[in-house]
Structure 1
């Protein structure tokens, strides 16, 4: 995929590498502004990079020195990380049963993963598993490791170019330096749940803005004014103007909301680390999680509404396959379906009404 080659060449994948490790040390505000811009151009590319940046965030949160040195260096070299986490046989999304088995001075890994976003385009595949101590770990394997098979079988209605297919692991050899322990997962709150959720909101925001761009272009270049509008050109129709203005406001509001939430996460990370060395403390991170949940509600509604309103600009001709305008709604609906927005709103309400912090599920 040529667009991913362009990402490698741009070094955008190293944005979050800390200055101490030779990177630019960009803030989350900088990162999510970039994600929004990428998603406005192509939401598939932006979404395919979510696991890459997520792995780097894991290292920023609580990675060991050797892991940071090894994998930050890879990111600085333009290498990308894909994802193999989900298991359709698990009772709940996020549950991990894939076992990393000891085999002398190394390990063996077998199993099947779904929703392996970005892995076909990546240099490394980050696989969630449990080790012999029942610790949750990340296994980082090179793309061509024998026994690692990536299948391009994602058939969702949206995100069609994110390569979110199946990963098969057939007795794959794993070496100790390729294992990163997820020490804080499920034990204490980190910023990682908020990061992953805000990434979805940023992509949804980019979709809304892309829909606006298509609406403006179609109204200017292709749409015809309806006979009873009293004007000669679609761009002169007050109702077309209103539609484009409403769509623009939705994208504007979503972007402002996402960046405000990103700033909140940045502030939480700038505070004192916990005694366990994990970035951020519980009160600040709980507050941040509720801000991100609100941003998700706003961005989801903006993307779906803007994608639907686009058709009010061009009439029936806007539904023609050559324009591919339905991609906006399909991509937005697929992203919004990751995590029910109703639960986001409910958790925010519970926090405001009863001071109940968001759950430690990784989805907040």
Structure 2
């Protein structure tokens, strides 16, 4: 891997996000990961509303995030990481996303890519790439494309050329790429098989364009990546097709992180609703009470929101515990993957619907004053609506029903 290290010296010294971290914590246990996430979330929450309002990219904040060690918590223990449980991983995502869901989304693909290394990498690739992650290096992503028939219709091509691969194409929704040290890009070979090229950020021919203009998740910089005759050493290219050809949890892992982000958004919206109703809102004139927090219809709606949030969190934890049980087996069967996909599908229905409902109910319960731009409370609904569009929750109902009624296993890909 000496060649790779030489090619990455510049990227490690200076990335689009700034200077690479000099001292990165290596988290050793699940408990430590939760403790660090709670402390970091409190720090990231400060200024989150202003960052969204001004669309100020979190260049400094993402360095705090990297240096905390949280980006390395799923590196297996055999390679120096904590190898935390899925229960812990989802809790970390919920905590960070409640503080700032854009920062919660930024490492979402990173963790899926760490999983791809564990599932498909050679021993040498694992040692090198896991070492980079523990040293604070971040993976962005170049997966999705726009203007194609569907999400699996990829135009990006990866072809072998001697000791290298050559990548050509254009990507969009490239969350994290602008802040990354490596931009893993998914492309197809001549036989239509998917390969992931973990491309160092400063590689000639690779460009990341900050053209994300979504009304939510505004500071994820989820814009365009272009690749023109980009050469990548074969040692940095992994056979991504294997994670769906073989029964693995890679797809469900992607989904459970999505659901955890939405659960965090829901929690933040509900917390801000409580704070506003208690301190600023007026009771309705016909209620006969002195404070908005005593309005019986408001109390009823707050109860409903908490019931839905707790149900969503319970299904999320249930799915995570199932993932942990499957992972502990050492081998994964097709039935295991199906059960995991269905379990996380059930959770994702409730995390999606609760996040959207909480963002909407905030204004109904808090009142007209809550719509003032100074409060920027609309960010909760905007973030929920944008992030939950990753894949349509209406298809989760179909996935779950088709499994229980007809015994049909979900298709294996990153959206199930």
Give the structure-1-normalised TM-score.
0.94
Give the Cα separation in 2 of the matches to 1:18 and 1:360. 24
State the distance in 1 between where 2:234 and 2:404 align.
45
Q: Does 1:118 align with 2:179?
A: no
1:331 aligns to 2:383 (yes or no): yes
Task: Give the distance between the partners of 1:342 and 1:240, measured in 2 at CA.
Answer: 29
2:88 maps to 30
| Count of residue correspondences | 358
Q: Which residue of 2 aligns with 1:245?
A: 303
Moved more, 178-187 or 296-305: 178-187
Answer yes or no: is 1:175 the counterpart of 2:175: no
Report what 1:277 is aligned to.
none
The runs of at least 4 consecutive aligned structure 1 residues that moved more than 3 Å come to 131-135
Contact 2:349/2:393 (8 A) holds in 1 = yes
**Pairing partner for 1:349 from 401, 413, 416:** 401
* Among 171, 189, 195, the residue aligned to 2:253: 195
Write out per-residue CA displacement over residues 138-188 of structure 1, whole angstroms, 9 at most, x where no aligned residue. 111111222111011112221111111000112222111111112424423
Question: Where do residues 25-174 of structure 1 align in structure 2 (5 Å cutoff)?
Answer: 25-131=83-189, 134-174=192-232
Choose 89-98 or 24-33, whichever is displaced more.
Answer: 89-98
Rounded Cα–Cα distance in structure 1 between residues aligned with 2:400 and 2:306: 26
Query: Which whole-Å deviations, capped at 9, do the CAs of 1:101-147 have from their partners, x for residues lacking one?
Result: 33333232221111101111111111001235643111111112221
1:74-118 residue CA offsets vs partner (Å, 9 max, x unmatched)? 111111100001122432203333112333332322211111011
Does residue 21 (structure 1) correspond to residue 79 (structure 2)? The answer is yes
Q: Which moved more, 1:26-35 or 1:316-325?
A: 316-325
User: Equivalent residue of 1:115, what SS?
Assistant: coil
- Which segment is superposed worse, 246-255 or 40-49? 246-255
**Partners of 2:164 and 2:232 within 8 A in 1:** yes
Which range is displaced more, 101-110 or 324-333?
Answer: 101-110
Structure 2 residue 357 is matched with structure 1 residue 299: no
Match of 1:263 among 310, 321, 324: 321
User: What SS does the aligned partner of 1:347 have?
Assistant: helix
RMSD between aligned residues: 1.6
Q: Structure 2: how far apart are the matches of 1:193 and 1:104?
A: 32
Q: Are the aligned partners of 1:192 and 1:362 in contact in 2 as well (CA < 8 Å)?
A: yes
Decide whether the 8 Å contact of 2:116 with 2:243 is kept in 1.
no
Structure 1 residues 266-298: Cα deviation after superposition (integer angstroms, max 9, x where no partner): 11122242xxxxxx1111111111111111111
CA contact (8 A) 1:136 1:185 kept: no
CA–CA separation in structure 1 for the residues paired with 2:375 and 2:261? 21
